[in-house]
Each structure stands twice: as C-alpha cells, then as structure tokens.
Amino acid sequence: MNPTPVPLIPRSLLFGNPQRTSPRLSPDGNYLAYLAPDGNGVLQVWQRTLGAADDRMLTADRKRGIRLFVWTFDGEHLIYLQDAEGDENWHLFSVGLSTGIIRDLTPFHGIQAQLVGLDPNRPHEALVAMNLQDRSRFDVYRLDLRTGAVELDTQNPGNVIGWTADAQLRVRAAQAALPDGGANLLVRGDADQPWEILIQWGPEDEGHALAFSEDGATLYVAGSHHYNSQRALAVNLETREEQVLAQDPDYDCAEFLIHPLRRTVQAVTFIRERLRWQVLDPEIEPDLKQLQAVRSGDCQIVSRDLADRRWIAAFTTDDGPVYYYVFDRGSRNSEFLFSSQPGLEGLALASMQPIRVPARDGLTLHGYLTLPVEAAPRSLPTVLLVHGGPWARDTWGYRADVQWLANRGYAVLQLNFRGSTGYGKQFLHAGDREWAGAMHTDLLDGVDWLVRQGIADPERIGIMGGSYGGYATLVALTFTPEVFACGVDLVGPSNLLTLLETIPPYWKPLRALFYQRVGNAETEPEFLRSRSPFFFADRICKPLLIGQGANDPRVKQNESDQIVGALRAAAIPVEYLIYSDEGHGFARPENRLHFYACAEAFLARQLHGRYEPATEITGHSATVA
C-alpha cells in the first residue's frame, strides 16, 4: 500500500517573499534593520528598537524590492542598492533615519555603483566604485553622506577589478586582471604612493584581498598560490611574509569572521558537505560553542555591533526556514528573533543528503540528493538541477526550488561538476574548456549513478537550471537528447560566440579569464561553435521550456531568442516566456510565481509528477513569445 501523499505546499509559500529576513544590528547595538514586504508585497527595509515592538518601514521602493542594505556609522543613515528592471546598474541610495529622506547618492545614468568601504573612523563618508568615466572600468569616489557630494578618490588604470580600503578609509589594495587570466594583488602605503605588487596569481590560482588590520600593516588575503585550495593568509606588508591562518587541503576558505574594531581574523569557515568553522581566536570559542548548541543547523554570524556585545546568528537548515537569534556575549544568552518563513515550520519538508559520485575519469564529484518525503526511493521521476556560474557551487540548506520539486514527487540531484568552486584549484580548472565536454559528462555520470541505485526512472529524467544551468539544459537536449525527457532553461546562453561578444563592458578586464576557461572567441571560433547548443538546435526532440529576463545584462535576450528562432524554423515546438521587467533571474515574486507555475505544469506533463493547479497570477510581466 502506498503511503498517504504529503499535502502540496503552495507555490505562493515557496516562491513568495520571506516574511522577514536579513536582520542587521546597528553599530551601537540598539536597533535592528531587516527586510520585509510592505502592504503591496514589495520588500522594504524596516527598523525596530532591539527588544521592542516599534517596527517601522524606512524605504519606499515601488516595484522590485530591496535585497542589499547596510548601516552607516554616522547614526543618521542607512544605505541600500537598487537597480532598474533587472539591468544590474545598481545605484546607491541613503535613507535618513530621523528625516525619512531618501536620496540617490549615485544619480548618474547608465552606471553601476559598488560599495567599497565604510568605517567608524570616517563615519560621514563612504567609498564607492563607479564606471562613471568609462563603462568598462570602475574608479573609486568618496561620498559625503551628509551632503551627497561626490569626489574622485582613486582612478582605475584600466584593469583593476576590485578595491580594498584600510581602517582610515584609504584605498590601499587593488586587484588587477592580467592578460593571461591571472591577477596581481597591488598595495600602496597611501594615496600619493605608487602601487607595488604584493602577490602575483597565475591563471591557475585564485585569490583576493579581504581587509587590512587595524594598524594597516597587515593585509588579510584568501589565496591558492603554493597550495591546492584557497587558504586564509595574513601578509606582513613590510616583510611580505605570509602567515597561514587557516587551511584545508581539499576545500577553499569561505567566510572570515573579523573583529569590527580590532580588525583581527577570529574564525574562518570552510564549506565541505556542510559548513565548518576553524576558530583562531580563543576569546570567541566559548561563544561559538554556546551558539551551536542553540538549535540544529549550520550556524553563521551575520551581524555584530561595534562593541562586540551582541551578535546575530543565522541557523540554516535543509528542511525549514532560516532561524535568527540575537546572542548576548556577556550572558551568553540567545534570544529568538524570527524565522524567514514561519509558514514552512512544521511542514513535511525533505532532507538534503550529501553524496559522492565517481566521474568516468576517476574524479570524485560531490553533490546533494533530495528525495520526496512520502515516496519509496525507487524508480522516481527525477530532476537534475544544475547550478549557475559555472564558477559557483551548490551547498547544503533550504532551497525553495529543491523543496518544490521534492514535494511534487521528484528526486532532485544537485551535482557540483568539475569547474565548480570551493573544492580547490585542481577541481576548478579540471573544468577549463570543458563546457559541453567533461562538465556535461559529469552530469551524465550523476544521472547514471542515480539509475544504477534504482532511484531514478530512466524514462522520466528532466534537467533544469539557470544561467550556466540553463546552458547545461540546452547542451543536454542537443548533445544527449536520448538521456532526458525534457528540459527547463532559465536565462541560459545558447551560443558561446555571442555570449562572449556581448558581455557587459565592465567585464572587459575579465575577458582573458573567460577565454582561458571557456575558449578564445578571437582565435578559435569553431571550437566555441562546437560547444554551442544553438548550432545543434535541430537535434532537440524533447520538450523544452525557456524563461528569459528582457533586461539581462549577462545573458542577453538574444541568447534565448536565437535558439527559439532556430527551433521554430525547424518546426520544433518550444515554450518561451519573456519577462519584461527582469534581468538575470526573477526578483519580483509575481514573476517567480508565474514562471514556476508554468514550469510545474510543464514538468507534470512530461515526467508525471504532482502539481498544484494553476491560479490566476496578477502583476506578472510575462509574454508568451
């Protein structure tokens, strides 16, 4: 007898806005800011006095919702980033905490602003990088938070892709891309002194600067030079001596926990199958130990006040929302704040199991398998869910799309194929020039493993993903159409030649990196053609759904348009949805709900999983093209 199916979880709960998320302490520790929807379902920044119930809305975004914000150190402003219709031309806005006045601090058409630094030693200033003079390079500007005045601080010679400021808010480190795909980490003593090379990373290395010490004599760096994985390093700027703070032979360091005033590295995280801490400062070891006993899940410190009296800890689980607590370091008491989505609590959500899969050439692949709660793990309809990037990775923890698929009866496989980050440079560079090559056969090996385990029904396997995952979907349906029953592509490139020709101008310094890892569009166009699904569109014989943001600056709409055009010219059916106010992914909940409703019905038709009947969704911007 089959067990009683668990109830369908509404898509509105899975893909709608969180109830509250991203809490951050004010520098004085007295206030809390967080994201929550307003009465129209648009995410805003809210504020409350810690321990009180005086919540008030600070921002007034009208459509897309705010996702990134930070307190300033002047006690008068909070700042946030926002783009227009998904174009990723981020502007930096300030909110007056007492006046409520909202000001665009970077009111320049067509530019992108990147926050470089804030510091309590210069509380009325901010450093912002903007491509104001040249869209292909970011210079650093000094902003007066009181008046909005903007002054050029540091000019980009043309190849700098990242800046780091010291405790006095002086730009003293820069990462410069090299023609071979490597990078130089540059440092200087002050603004009037010349840049010097501190570390030179070859194209096989990874690395970046993190922060200066309080006295400015040490630079903390993550780097893989002389080692397989990225280590946490402290570099003495006078002697150039490197001290290893934390390392793992197989996994890159992930996040640094740095004291807000002393600027010492106190702990480093590594993401193995799950998140793991390496504690460097014995002062905080009892605090972390106490916190990790509060509840199950992976614990991260997401905010601290300047006095380091209070922390906000986030607990990530695989079968529920994120839970937030305020931790008092004096008493070591934890007070529950809220969870991101209380509606998920108590539901029958699926667990995510770390797995290892051998690739056909002997490389070990890591990933995660999520199975439906109520089903026996035999001959299940299956979705291979491919992450984007590709220089990224899947991690353990709650994901709306994973729980959605598992709740609908699908086994869900997430595989960190070669070229994924986090597993050291040998694994990363095993993916060089392997788009539609070994990166694809890794995915096939994962599918074969599931079939051999008896988990997947070989006749009901779909593939789905966004960005690179969308490309992988198109590759699967053109290069190996016999393996998959259907595919769902979200903002995926179809033609590597046009993808590389149309990268945003501010990615120009990274062109050599793309050529090294993907292929050289100038010298080997035939190679890139051979790895581009567009040129093999006539091989597609399985159902395909494509979703695209009209304003995507990374994967232009033409990437979807051209393969849809080729399919329709060959009388091959394809479902195509274009969202007029979205970019590289869907920020607005109305659009997410519409797309996933269409995807759910599509998968149910092809793989025979469960589905929630579609209801009318108002406010979305989709056009069926």
E strands in 145-264: 150-154, 160-165, 171-177, 183-187, 196-201, 207-212, 218-223, 231-236, 242-246, 253-258
Give the separation between CA 199 and CA 187, rounded to whole angstroms.
9
Q: Give the chain's end-to-end CA distance (angstroms, integer).
A: 45
* Cβ contacts of 14 within 8 Å, gap of 6 or more: 400, 401, 403, 404, 596
Q: Which of 26, 229, 420, 467 is catalytic?
A: 467
DSSP state of 319: S
Q: Which candidate in 584, 594, 620, 621 is catalytic?
A: 584
Parallel, antiparallel or unpaired: strands 310-316 and 298-304:
antiparallel
The count of C-alpha atoms lying within 13 angstroms of the C-alpha of 297, restricted to the half-sphere facing its C-beta, is: 21
Three-state DSSP at 557 gives: helix
457: annotated active-site residue: no
Catalytic residue among 552, 581, 594, 620: 552
Q: 539 phi and psi, to 5 degrees?
A: -80, -15
Task: Give the tokens for residue 378.
Answer: 């035999």
Q: Is 552 in the active site? A: yes
Structure tokens at 32: 């809390």
Here the tokens at position 538 are 């006539």
Q: Who's near 572: CB < 8 A, 6+ residues apart?
A: 537, 538, 540, 541
What's the rounded Cα separation, in Å, for the pair 177 and 184? 7
Give which of 395, 403, 314 is closest to 351, Cα–Cα. 403
Distances in Å between the alpha carbon of 60 and those of 34, 81, 100, 340? 14, 13, 10, 21
Q: Name the residue with tokens 């060089």.
A: 432
Distance (Å) of CA 418 to CA 151, 225, 442, 470 = 44, 20, 7, 17
Neighbouring C-beta atoms of residue 494, cutoff 10 Å? 28
Instruction: Tell me, yes or no, if 584 is annotated catalytic.
Output: yes
- Closest C-alpha among 271, 269, 234, 275 to residue 250: 271
What is the phi/psi pair of residue 372, to 5°?
-55, 145
Find the helix or strand (DSSP H, E) in which 476 lies.
helix 468-479
Contact 318, 352 (CB under 8 A): yes
Residue pair 513/175 in contact by the 8 Å Cβ criterion: no
Report whether 382 contacts 413 (CB < 8 A): yes
Question: How many Å is the Cα radius of gyration of the chain?
Answer: 24
Task: Please identify every residue annotated as catalytic.
Answer: 467, 552, 584
